[in-house]
Structure 1
Amino acid sequence: MSATTKRPRPWTTATLGGMASYLDGATIVTVGMSSVVLQEQFGLSAWAVGALNSVLMLMFATGAVVGGRLGDLLGRRAVYSVDLVIYAVGVLTVILAPNPTVLFAGVVVTGLAMGADVPTSLALMAEEAAEGRQSSTVAYSQTLWLAGVSVVQILGFFVGGWGPVATQILFGHLLLVSLAVWFMRRGVRESAAWQRSRTASASAPRRDLRAVFRRPYGMALLGTGLYFVISGIMPNTVGQFGAYLVVNLGHSTVRVFSLIGWGTMVVGIAIALLFQRLADSPLRRVLLMIGLASLALGPLAAIVGGYSVASLVVLFAMNTIAGTWAGEGLYKVWSQEVFPTEIRSTAQGITFGAARYVMAAFGLFTPTLVQRTPTLFMGILIALGAVATLIGLLWLPRLPQHGLVDANAHEPVDSVRTHKATEDTSTS
């Protein structure tokens, strides 16, 4: 193997790539946690606070679509080694913002750069994974996503009452981590699979953007996109508005929610580690079924329990399971498996973007639904869980796994199996 295609240590690449997910989770929680302080500091209205969080999600979606495509056209490293510098500039702008206009500008830049980093980094993780460990390597990104959320929650617990200084510390954490990861990423080589795809004659038709929407990949794009949108609404909504649910439905306090958050944090990381361990085994389907059941049982428990704090704890626990075993965690794995190298980042950017656009829109209506008709709100989540179950059990497992490549022949697994079957038939 030549020096240009020699792989670095897979888990080193996986960690540096997975830090995109760490920063994704940490950024969302940091902006949400800092909203109260920023509201007072800049005199923001309630609408402006909601808009600040929505802008982050919308820019992430846009960045994912654009960055995902650039990752396929220019290479993983071309995007991967630059976007965190842009991200750091955005975060620094937020820290130094003298007025709301500059604050929003910083959030826009931060969201765009973060969105571009995630699909590109996930593609690199999958392509540089050790043989037979692709799914587990990608699942590792979900563990790091939860780690990012957890670190910000812990920091927020200690500095939450420090006013504007707390906000600077929280965003300062994002700045330092992004610069450290960017520095370490400079030694990561380009994806060997992407390099091969640029010279293979059969790859040219797949590099065309139109290939993403045509057979045989169009159905995979539609299936993974619909699944992520539908299965991701509950984990995203409950995670984003957890404190709001505890205060307005459970008639409790933010402090109680913080205690619940610490408990679900520990459970969440344990769940992510288990998923990471089993992602390449047949037991992944068992986790999928438990996760899909959690999508419906969590909201149902809240309704049956009369929205008591105890019933909301069950909802949060189920939400944690669903988010990893049947939500974003599983979606990330499936996306690597069903798309070939040439369009993997593009396809994932499109589906990531579509999901974040829908989640941002759903979030605008969530507070009103929770206040006026909480049972309708929970009923919508149950219905979405039922639809996700049908897609997750009956559709996506049937998709050809174009992304699983034989390490020696560099052909899709289905193709390798077909050749093998032909050889067996000819020799018998």
Structure 2
Amino acid sequence: MSTTASRTRPWYTATLGGMASYLDGATIVTVGMASVILQQQFSMSSWSVGALNAVLMFMFATGAVIGGRLGDVLGRRKVYAVDLVVYAAGVVTVLCAPNQATLFAGVIVTGLAMGADVPTSLALMAEEAAAGRQSSTVAYAQTLWLAGVAVVQILGYFAGDLGMLSVRILFGHLLVVAVAVWVLRRGVAESADWQRSRTTPGRRRDLRAVFRKPYGLGLVATGLYFVISGIMPNTVGQFGAFLVVNLGHSTVQVFSMIGWATMVVGLAVALLFQRLADSPVRRVLLVIGLVSLVAGPLAAVLGDFSLLSLVVLFVANTVAGTWAGEGLYKVWSQEIFPTEIRSTAQGLTFGAARYVMAVFGLFTPTLVEETPTMFMGVLISLGAVATVIGLLWLPRLPRNGLRDAPPGDAPGAGAVPADTSLTGAG
């Protein structure tokens, strides 16, 4: 296959790359849902449940940092051709786990491989997108992320009460998808943009370039924003079943039914974002998403954690996660960083965010059980801070990664103007 072949069918390439996000979302919800069942099977305490989900996030973070850098150094194809094999091995380990130790080992391997896959695949999607559709193509990854969540919720609804068999069904789904995607990816060519980037001056490809002008502020801004705005979506994604069971006093099967209801909303939200990601309307979606980031946990508190108030939280989380959370972060990361360091920068910011989420997740089950109101208050405060960063800082950053940006190696070269329409900056 020629090096430009994948550019002639960008949505096929985007689908295979975006399946990293599908597996990311599906894995997070699968581990969160399965941990409720495994809590009884392996006599796990609430701390052990938190630790299992925290380990997944921690290893994802480590994999993102390592895999992101390797994606820039070795190429996109070399990384994502290998990591899904490792991912499948981790899932098999979980499926065969006879005890907690083996379960944790499988989750460690799975998280490490998944982390390596995401930043590399997102970079490939951006670089092989059709002209004028770069942001929309990357937004497609969030649609696939939600699709992964939705499929797991559907499986959980039908198999949620089957004990360990439901765990095997949930993780078996991950295994089948990973193997199928790995087979199909073998026919995808290397990123043409990445190949051309190998001819640029070495200092633009150097690791230190990520931390220097004109990219260093972008690294701090996107990383900080993703850390803060991603806490609530990650918490609800990982611990949605835990919240419904322990605060809503319901069952895993009921949680899956709620997932069905929010799934339709979530996919509609993602498809709308995908359609409008390259248009000025995206800024309106950002504002709505930031409002949802605060309104969701506030509704849970005001509703005294009733099942209905948790449904409001889940719907708000779906909107916030796409329009003002990980979905938008993915788009901003492609726009702000050039090809030479795109995967590296994303790996670092993904890693930083997931490290924080891992620590947060470690304490989440215990905090939810003991001080749920204070826990939601923390989420509300984080949403307020994310609003300031998302409206006043990130729109001011130059877009160094857009394909129509002029080439250059001097500080600020290769950049297009910042998106200042939200801030009024000139």
Q: Secondary structure at the match of 2:198?
A: helix
Unpaired segments of 5 or more residues in structure 2? 418-426
Deviations 1:59-111 (A, max 9, x none): 11100000000000100011011111111111112222333333222211111
Q: Distance in 2 between matches of 1:177 and 1:382?
A: 36
Partner of 2:57: 57
Q: Is the 8 A contact 1:401 1:414 kept in 2?
A: no
Aligned length: 414
Q: Distance in 1 between matches of 2:89 and 2:253?
A: 33
Higher helix fraction (1 or 2): 1
Q: Is the 8 A contact 1:405 1:411 kept in 2?
A: no
**Paired AA for residue 280 in structure 1:** D
Aligned CA distance change for structure 1 residues 245 and 42 (closer, same or farther; 3 Å):
closer
1:300 Cα deviation from its structure 2 partner: 2.0
Q: Secondary structure at the match of 2:230?
A: helix
Q: Distance in 2 between matches of 1:332 and 1:280?
A: 13
Partner of 1:4: 3
**Paired AA for residue 13 in structure 2:** T
**Paired AA for residue 237 in structure 1:** T
Q: Is the 8 A contact 1:264 1:320 kept in 2?
A: yes
Q: Distance in 2 between matches of 1:240 and 1:417?
A: 37
1:308 Cα deviation from its structure 2 partner: 2.7
Partner of 1:424: none
Q: Is the 8 A contact 2:65 2:344 kept in 1?
A: yes
Q: Is the 8 A contact 1:58 1:357 kept in 2?
A: yes
Q: Distance in 1 between matches of 2:376 and 2:46?
A: 24
- Whether 1:348 and 2:315 are equivalent positions in the alignment is no
Deviations 1:343-386 (A, max 9, x none): 10001001101111111111222233333333322222121111
**Paired AA for residue 280 in structure 2:** P
TM-score, L = length of structure 2: 0.92
Tell which structure's C-alpha radius of gyration is larger.
1
Paired residues for 1:5-154 under 5 Å: 5-6=4-5, 7-154=7-154
CA RMSD of the aligned region, Å?
2.1
1:34 Cα deviation from its structure 2 partner: 1.8
Poorly superposed stretches of 4+, deviation over 6 Å: 411-414
Paired residues for 1:194-233 under 5 Å: 194-201=194-201, 204-233=202-231
Aligned CA distance change for structure 1 residues 370 and 166 (closer, same or farther; 3 Å):
closer
TM-score, L = length of structure 1: 0.91
**Paired AA for residue 198 in structure 1:** R
Q: Is the 8 A contact 2:90 2:110 kept in 1?
A: yes
Partner of 2:423: none
Q: Which residue, out of 262, 266, 273, partners 2:264?
A: 266
Q: Secondary structure at the match of 2:369?
A: helix
Q: Which residue, out of 391, 394, 402, partners 1:393?
A: 391
Which stretch has the larger CA shift, 311-320 or 121-130? 311-320
Unpaired segments of 5 or more residues in structure 1? 419-428
Q: Distance in 2 between matches of 1:417 and 1:326?
A: 22
Deviations 1:234-291 (A, max 9, x none): 1111232223333443444444433222111111111001100000000000000000
Q: Distance in 1 between matches of 2:67 and 2:323?
A: 26
Q: Distance in 2 between matches of 1:244 and 1:278?
A: 34
1:41 Cα deviation from its structure 2 partner: 4.0
Partner of 2:283: 285
Give me the identity figure in percent.
77
Aligned CA distance change for structure 1 residues 171 and 277 (closer, same or farther; 3 Å):
same
- Whether 1:276 and 2:279 are equivalent positions in the alignment is no
**Paired AA for residue 171 in structure 2:** F
